[in-house]
Amino acid sequence: MLGNFTYVNPTKLYFGENALEHLPEALADYGKRVLLVYGGGSIKKNGIYDKVVSLLQKAGKEIVEDGGVMPNPTLAKVYDGCRIARVGNIDFILAVGGGSVCDYSKALSVSIHCEEDPWEKYYLRMEEPSCQIVPVGCVLTMVGTGSEMNGGSVITNTETKLKIGKVFSEKVFPKFSILDPTYTFTLPNYQMVSGFFDIMSHILEQYFSDSDDNTSDYLMEGLLHSLIHSSRIAVKNPLDYEARSNIMWIATWALNTLVAKGKTTDWMVHMIGQSIGAYTNATHGMTLAAVSIPYYRMLLPYGLPKFKRYAINVWGVSAEGKTDMEIAEEGLARMESYMRELGLVMNAKELGVTEDMLDGIAEGSFIMEGGYKTLTKDEIIQILKESMEAVK
């Protein structure tokens, strides 16, 4: 049975080649002083920075810059960004970059005018903002997180070694996002395939929950088919516009809250992966890849009907002459083979995980209850150990 839900998504999208030309139009209803947020400087090398600045000036905007956002945005960076924004008296935040830049910008949007410590209020107590929210817009240069059309914001506290994601209400969603697939062409292969698996993991976290046969499951199976097909093309030819545009669109739909409707959703792979990231600063998608196969093998007996369906409907496993368990296991084997084909990290040691970190990573993995099984800390450690023993 499809559960009851309310659905709204206020983000306006401008999609396609040269979509950036819509930036002045998108900013027309907002204030004069724009905080331009970006990462390590790649947008200056590939020319996107100059295009954005030119369009902001054309629109009559005053620019305050906040660069240097790291792949795993830190709480210290959020505090620093708040200082820059307050001094600049900014009216709008424009995030130009990947999901980390978008996540960071949403954290800023609710923290600039917050009278409390934002870490305590939003990431520990998981409260909604009660202060003025500074609106955000995104110009996406990397796909994977879906942050361009949701309220998610993941921040790392390096002092406590906690990496926590807060999902804000639609009030914090980007007001608009500009998605030009050509902006993803220059991304290094490691980051590209990491983003591909982040997309897949988002879908699977929602798919492997509940046993009901509902519309969301069919939508997700279609997204997975398209992702698998297009990612194989993109790995061979990163400049294939059709493949990269399909992947960009899949990433948005994978986590813009639509396919979660009517589902409890799981998110344990993300909880473990984020905790690994807090200890190692490893690339997010790779942390998910490293623990997914051992996690799903542990989960399989508890959600066997859905894993069987996944094997048949997504990976084309033949059911003839096989038990349900054999079908399901073959599906996971095909998934693992695909992951290795992409060149994903399958062993947590490659990400810097060591034996002495296991207890801390397990402690930092928030236990979720929406999947087929609620894990214990010992089971999380078992998953981590199995990952560390995986063939590289």
> Can you tell me the distance from the alpha carbon of 216 to that of 3, in angstroms, rounded to the nearest whole number?
11
Q: Are residues 159 and 304 in the same domain?
A: no
For the cut 80, the answer to whether the pLDDT of residue 1 exceeds it is no
349 and 201 belong to one structural domain? yes
Which residue in 289, 137, 86, 305 sits closest to 209, CA to CA?
Answer: 305
**Do residue 249 and residue 282 come from a single domain?**
yes
pLDDT at 301: 97
Question: How far separated are the first and last CA of the chain, in Å rounded?
Answer: 41
DSSP character for 115? S
pLDDT exceeds cutoff 90 at 33: yes
Alpha-carbon distance of 264 to 155, in angstroms, equals: 24
Count of other CB atoms within 10 angstroms of residue 119:
21
Region of residue 174 (left: phi > 0; alpha: psi -120 to 50; beta: else): beta
Instruction: State percent of the chain over pLDDT 70.
Output: 99
Beta bridge partners of 107: none
Residue 99 has pLDDT above 80, yes or no: yes
Distance CA 309, CA 303 (A): 10
Whether 109 and 238 map to the same domain: the answer is no
Rounded-to-integer distance, Cα 199 and Cα 207, Å: 12
Number of structural domains (the chain) is 2
Could you tell me if 342 and 231 are in contact, meaning their C-beta atoms sit under 8 angstroms apart?
yes
Whether 3 maps to a domain, the answer reads: no
* pTM of the predicted protein model: 0.96
Contact 137, 26 (CB under 8 A): yes
Q: Is the pLDDT assigned to residue 392 strictly greater than 80?
A: no
For residues 17 and 142, membership in a common domain is answered with: yes
Q: What is the pLDDT of residues 143-161, one digit of tens each?
A: 999 999 999 999 999 999 9
pLDDT at 2 over 80: no
Choice between 365 and 214, residue whose per-residue pLDDT is larger: 365
Whether pLDDT at 8 is above 90: yes
Give the whole-number percent of the chain exceeding pLDDT 90.
Answer: 95
Report residue 213's pLDDT band, with 50, 70 and 90 as the boundaries: confident
Rounded to whole angstroms, the Cα distance separating 274 from 285 reads 10
Map residue 29 onto helix, strand or coil: coil
312 in the same domain as 210: yes
Mean pLDDT of the 252-275 span: 96
Q: Are residues 164 and 202 in the same domain?
A: no
3-class SS shares of the chain: helix, strand, coil, % to 5: 55, 10, 35
- β-pair type (136-140, 162-167): unpaired
Tokens of 97: 């970059």
d(CA 159, CA 45): 32
Q: Please, what is the angle between helix 268-280 and helix 284-299, to 10°? A: 140
Mean pLDDT of 87-103: 97
1 in any annotated domain: no
**Averaged over 173-182, what is the pLDDT?**
98
205 & 172 share domain: no
Final residue before a domain boundary, out of 183, 214, 232: 183
Looking at the fold, whether 27 and 62 belong to one and the same domain comes out as yes
Residue 61 lies in domain: 12-183
- pLDDT-derived band of residue 300, with 50, 70 and 90 as boundaries? very high
Class of residue 343 by CB neighbours under 10 A (exposed 0-12, middle 13-18, buried 19+) = middle
User: Is 348 a residue whose pLDDT tops 80?
Assistant: yes
Q: How far apart are CA 48 and CA 26, in angstroms?
A: 17
Give the Cα separation of 104 and 86 in Å (integer): 16
Q: What is the dihedral of CA 180, 182, 185, 191, to 10 degrees?
A: 0
Domain CATH code at residue 177: 3.40.50.1970
Q: Are residues 143 and 176 in the same domain?
A: yes
223 and 149, same domain (yes or no): no
* Contact indicator for 74, 157 with CB cutoff of 8 Å: yes
- C-alpha to C-alpha distances, 307 to 9, 266, 335, 358, nearest whole angstrom: 30, 14, 12, 28
